[in-house]
Amino acid sequence: MGDCIFCGIAEGAIPSKKIFEDDETLAFHDLAPKAPVHFLVIPKRHIRNIMECGAEDGVLLGKLLLRAQGLARELGCGEGGARFVINCKSDGGQTVDHLHIHVLGGRGLGWPPG
Ligand code: 5GP
Ligand code: ZN
């Protein structure tokens, strides 16, 4: 959609290190990783943020979350765990306005976030 970076990645117009792809979803490594494992799971359809989702998006959201979990396992986070994060709008620290789940793992992470 327009100049959305993640739509560009989903369409293949912008390169990324893809981990998984199907008709509706895509997972790729974050460009600026904040942990040894740091990847993003997105819907291919442009959804701005989690606040814009409704009941009709429930199945898609479930797929995204389960894909994030499965890939976290495959990338070695099954034992130690990981953090699954959805930043939303300005207070949530969202910088790319296309819904995405961050998965961070491979080291201990502090809480609460700053
Ligand atoms: P947000 O702050 O919106 O929750 O997270 C956006 C994430 O997207 C950031 O962690 C940032 O490093 C990542 N990112 C921004 N632009 C690109 C890009 O072009 N390619 C990839 N792979 N990641 C990106
Ligand atoms: Zn988009």
The pLDDT of residue 53 is 98
What is the average pLDDT across 73-93? Answer: 98
Q: Where are the domains of the chain?
A: 5-105
Q: What is the fold of 5-105?
A: HIT family, subunit A (3.30.428)
pLDDT digits 0-9 by tens, 29-53 = 999 999 999 999 999 999 999 999 9
Q: Is the pTM of this model over 0.95?
A: yes
The pLDDT of residue 1 is 65
Q: How far is the CA of 5 from the centre of ligand 2 (A)?
A: 6
Instruction: Give the ligand at the shortest distance from the Cα of 1.
Output: 2
Helix (H, G, I), strand (E, B) or coil at 9: helix
pLDDT digits 0-9 by tens, 15-26 = 999 999 999 999
Instruction: Give the pocket of ligand 1 (CB within 6 Å).
Output: 5, 14, 16, 28, 30-32, 87, 93-96
Query: Could you give the CA distance from residue 72 to residue 94 in angstroms, rounded to a whole number?
Result: 21
For the beta sheet containing 101-105, the strands, ordered from the edge strand earlier in sequence to the opposite edge, are: 18-21, 25-29, 37-43, 101-105, 82-85
DSSP 77: I
What is the pLDDT confidence band of residue 114, given thresholds at 50, 70 and 90?
A: confident
CA distances 94 to 19, 23, 87, Å, are 22, 25, 5
Helix (H, G, I), strand (E, B) or coil at 101: strand
